[in-house]
Amino acid sequence: MSQNSIKIKKISKAMLLFVRVMTLVLVTLAVYFTVKNFSINYENGLFREFTAIFVSSMDALLIIAILAVVANLLKSIEKDYTPFNIGNVKKLKVLSVLLVAFEPIHLISMKVVQSIRPLILEGGVRVTSFTSFGGVFFAVGLVVFCIALIFEYGIELQKQSDETL
């Protein structure tokens, strides 16, 4: 095993630990803020309130899914002989789809929550919050898709190299 392979495996192992810790922190924070901010406006009705809670949790659920795919990819890179295999390409493509889908899902979920809970009062003043990531997740998703295509090309080169030897 070459020095570069050893470095890749060590970095993958460290990053896997980091991603798992981040996932745990995110899940803990999502549960904490859901419980802390849990209030039901009975004028809206229970179904609408629970729908608002579920929809507002979509961002956290999607990020947890992204982190799970990243963790799975890093585990695969750590365990396999080479990172250039079809399983890793599939994981990268799934990751790119999740990243590209994040921005529209976030925007739609924010609009749904605002339509279900039209008034949010802070000190008697109407407050509406709306955040956009400016397409960053979309751009990163496209970059990850390009990396998946590079990995596909790496698989071809790996096969050619193995056949030559």
**Maximum pairwise Cα distance, the chain:** 75
Mean pLDDT over the full length of the chain: 82
* DSSP H/E element including 122: strand 121-122
HSE, side-chain direction, 13 A CA sphere, residue 75: 10
Q: SS3 for 145?
A: helix
Q: Which residues pair with 122 in a beta bridge?
A: 125
Q: How far is Cα of residue 52 from the mean position of the Cα atoms in its chain?
A: 21
The residue written with tokens 């709306």 in the block is 130
Most confident of 32-41, 122-131, 140-149: 140-149
- pLDDT-derived band of residue 165, with 50, 70 and 90 as boundaries? low
**Please, which residues have CB within 8 angstroms of residue 59's CB and are 6 or more apart in sequence?**
102, 105, 106, 109
| Type of residue at 111 | K
Per-residue model confidence as pLDDT tens digits over 28-82: 887 787 777 666 666 666 676 677 777 777 888 898 899 999 999 999 988 888 8
**Residues above pLDDT 70, as percent of the chain:** 79
Q: Measured between alpha carbons, how far is 5 from 78 in angstroms, rounded to an integer?
A: 9
The answer to whether the beta carbons of residues 123 and 56 sit under 8 Å apart is no
- pLDDT-derived band of residue 6, with 50, 70 and 90 as boundaries? confident
Q: Please tell me the pTM assigned to this model.
A: 0.76
Nearest CA-CA partner of 75 in 140, 149, 19: 19
